[in-house]
Chain A
Amino acid sequence: MDITRRRLLLLLPSAAVAWKFVQAGTPEAAPNYKTSEHWWGMLIDIPKCIGCGSCVRACAAENDVPDGYYRTWIERYRVTDYAIERPQVESPDGGKQGFPLNQDASGKNFFVPKLCNHCADSPCTQVCPVGATFVSPDGVVLVDKSYCLGCRYCVQACPYGCRFINPKTNTAEKCTLCYHRITKGLTTACAEVCPTGARQLADLKNPKDPIHEFLRTHSVQVLKPHMATGAKVFYNGMDGSVR
């Protein structure tokens, strides 16, 4: 990269200012972040997902996710003919290194990224015996790892399989919607690195949010709607075979 000293001297201060903003710290300290002004969700655009695994790797890097456990992962579906009740699904290492070539490519093939759905009527929150997992005022389901007993009831109660017990802390863990980023005006790590824009953060309380607008004008679904969890991760273009 060709950068002259003069250029650097001009650029560094502005970069530093931008960076200081990012490092603003706690929500109270972060300028103008009020939990009551936000209600977070996400949009996953299935036809755009290329299964590159960037999101899985970025999440692991951003959140120190231990090997073998996944805060987010990608599934590859193969649906032959009209057999939507019997898809072939795989997720090698959660899709972290992408996907190998399919042995049999007949039928419909597509990728489905998954993560915590940050349910508004979260069953994991309902069953936590002590209040270690909770829905924040801005709609993110979080885990207080200094309060969690590690009883694993929440892991059992999640219909989507998005929770796990971190073997280092022995507490429950899952996607936090990169709370430490979105409260600073950034987007989630997975949405940040997605090369096709298949994953995008949505602020459901902001009428001007373009993703919020998308949800109003397109046919979208949530996973397992019959569970009535109030899931806030919406899928565009999702096939009926997706579990």
Chain B
Amino acid sequence: MAFVLLRAAVVPKSFGEYGHYRGDAIAEIASRPVAHAGHEVCEACHTDVVEQKKLGKHVVVPCEACHGAQAKHADDPGTIKPPKIDTALVCARCHEANSAKPKGFPQVASAEHSGGLACDTCHQPHKPKIETEVKVATGGKK
């Protein structure tokens, strides 16, 4: 009897609502604030970047893949600004040559390719392909 009373008093009310667990847990877990805004939210404001990306291979690359989680920025774009990206680090993660990467995927050995120069010296990340005029001007790849 005491056990039954204890149980009624101590066991959380929502326990057993959907199964052998506290039903409220579902809502609690779902109510966590998001950290990534999602590319659609970025695209709603940054339409010029969208236009630029449309012309190149990086159209499929989501914004936060390079820029990191930006929900806070989307929440308050005036005050919170995303930090400047270190292209030597960020670009290398995808494009540094590695035998385990799929053969058709664009990858370079950065030491040979740019001799240590930051990637955005020649490439515009939103539209990474270097146009032939620029190539000719800089005398091709270093």
Number of chain B residues whose Cβ lies closer than 8 Å to a Cβ of chain A:
50
**Residue in A25, A49, A54 whose beta carbon sits within 8 Å of that of B31 in the complex:** A25
B41 A147 Cβ-Cβ under 8 A: no
- Say which residue of B20, B34, B39, B45 sits within 8 Å of A184 (CB atoms): B34
Q: Tell me the complex Cα distance, A216–B92, Å.
A: 35
Q: Are A102 and B98 in contact (CB under 8 A)?
A: yes
Distance, CA A61 to CA B35, complexed state (A): 7
What's the least CB distance linking B99 to chain A, in Å? Answer: 4
Given the known inter-chain contacts A58-B36, A183-B30, please indicate yes or no for A192 contacting B64, CB distance below 8 A.
yes
Min C-beta distance of A231 to chain B, whole Å: 20
Assembled-state Cα–Cα distance A134/B15 (Å): 12
Which B residues lie at the A interface, using CB under 8 A?
A: 12, 15, 18-22, 25-41, 44-49, 60-62, 64-65, 68-69, 74-75, 92-94, 96-102, 105
> Are the C-beta atoms of A180 and B29 separated by less than 8 Å?
yes
Binary interface encoding of chain A residues 125-140 relative to chain B, with 1 for a CB under 8 A from any of its CBs, else 0: 0000001111111000
- List chain A residues, Cβ under 8 A from B48: 1-3
Quick one: CB contact mask for A103-139 with B, threshold 8 Å, 1 for yes? 0010001110000000000000000000111111100
Contact of A179 with B44 at beta-carbon distance under 8 Å, contacts A134-B19, A134-B21, A195-B94 already known? no
Task: Name the contact of A144 in the complex, choosing from B21, B94, B100 (C-beta under 8 A).
Answer: B21
A166 to B37, CA, bound (A): 25
Q: Are A99 and B60 in contact (CB under 8 A)?
A: no
Min Cβ gap B49→A in Å is: 7
> Which chain A residues lie closer than 8 Å to B93 at the CB level?
52-54, 97-98
B27 / chain A contacts, CB cutoff of 8 Å:
26-28
Q: Is A152 in contact with chain B by the CB < 8 A criterion?
A: no
Contact partners of A35 in chain B: CB under 8 A? 26
Task: Show 18 residue pairs from A and B whose CB-CB distance is below 8 angstroms, ordered by the A residue.
Answer: A11-B45, A14-B44, A15-B45, A19-B75, A23-B34, A27-B27, A50-B105, A54-B93, A61-B36, A78-B100, A101-B96, A101-B98, A137-B18, A137-B26, A147-B25, A179-B32, A180-B29, A184-B34
- Counting chain B CB atoms within 10 Å of each CB, the highest count among A47, A58, A111 belongs to A58
**Taking CB as reference atom, which chain A residue is nearest B15?**
A131
